[in-house]
A and B are shown apart, each in its own frame.
Chain A
Amino acid sequence: EAGVAQSPRYKIIEKRQSVAFWCNPISGHATLYWYQQILGQGPKLLIQFQNNGVVDDSQLPKDRFSAERLKGVDSTLKIQPAKLEDSAVYLCASSFRLARNEQFFGPGTRLTVL
């Protein structure tokens, strides 16, 4: 079974530029999550999708971050414009929407904002 795929693995941009990350979850997983992990910290949940609908985006800085999952499968997370403090690893995870909600994570995208 293929795992969660993410691309790109690394991205370096200048502040005020835009960037987009892509995630393809495990086949059949209805729930998709985007996390931000700043160096030395635990992951912070940004947004959760159930199929193509947003379940929770209370931690997403909506003035600059946006995410979509139009067909209920793959998803993109965009930052526009980027700030220095956005430098982090962006992790995508997916799960069956069951009581346990065990999540399977992708390898992450490491973003550096200069």
Chain B
Amino acid sequence: AQKITQTQPGMFVQEKEAVTLDCTYDTSDPSYGLFWYKQPSSGEMIFLIYQGSYDQQNATEGRYSLNFQKARKSANLVISASQLGDSAMYFCAMRDETGNQFYFGTGTSLTVIP
């Protein structure tokens, strides 16, 4: 069963604008973790942001913020003030309760337009 769903295969955003990348997840665990990674064309996965299932506040890391809606099981990534270097694949991922399993979505390709 699909654990992580990313419904946007490709997104475009104008430089300096904000963009939201969607992610929904499926779990019955009370405790889990949600991650966003960036994968540039070079191939290396870069950690961006983490949200724990019990965290009361939405996570923020610089220009990245995670819009966590637990009841809807969504964990959307918001990138503010987009830069050309933000063009990449973005993957949403989930860690299960045991910490032994990690599930990645199929990714969203983001292109920042000058």
- Residues on A lying within 8 angstroms of B by beta carbon are 33, 40-45, 48, 55-56, 58, 89, 91, 93, 97, 99-108, 110
Contact of B107 among A42, A89, A99 (CB under 8 A): A42
Question: B interface, by DSSP: helix, strand, loop or mixed?
Answer: strand
Q: How far is the CA of A42 from the CA of B45 in the complex (A)?
A: 11
Chain A hits for B52, CB < 8 A: 99-100
A-B contact pairs, 9 of them (CB 8 A): A40-B106, A45-B101, A45-B103, A101-B33, A102-B47, A103-B45, A103-B102, A105-B44, A107-B44
Asked if A56 and B104 sit within 8 Å, CB to CB, the answer is no
A33 contacts B102, C-beta separation under 8 Å: yes
Q: Residues of B with Cβ closer than 8 Å to A?
A: 4, 33, 35, 37, 42-47, 50, 52, 91, 93, 95, 99-107
**CB atoms of B91 and A102 under 8 A apart:** no
- B45 and A93 within 8 A (CB): yes
A105-B44, A105-B45, A108-B44 given as contacts; is B33 within 8 A of A100 (CB)? Answer: yes
B-side contacts of A99, CB under 8 Å: 33, 52, 99
Task: With A42-B4, A107-B43 given, name 17 new contacts (CB 8 A).
Answer: A41-B107, A42-B104, A42-B105, A55-B100, A58-B101, A93-B45, A99-B33, A100-B33, A101-B33, A101-B95, A101-B99, A102-B35, A102-B47, A102-B50, A103-B45, A105-B45, A108-B44
- What CA separation (Å) do A44 and B62 show in the bound complex? 28
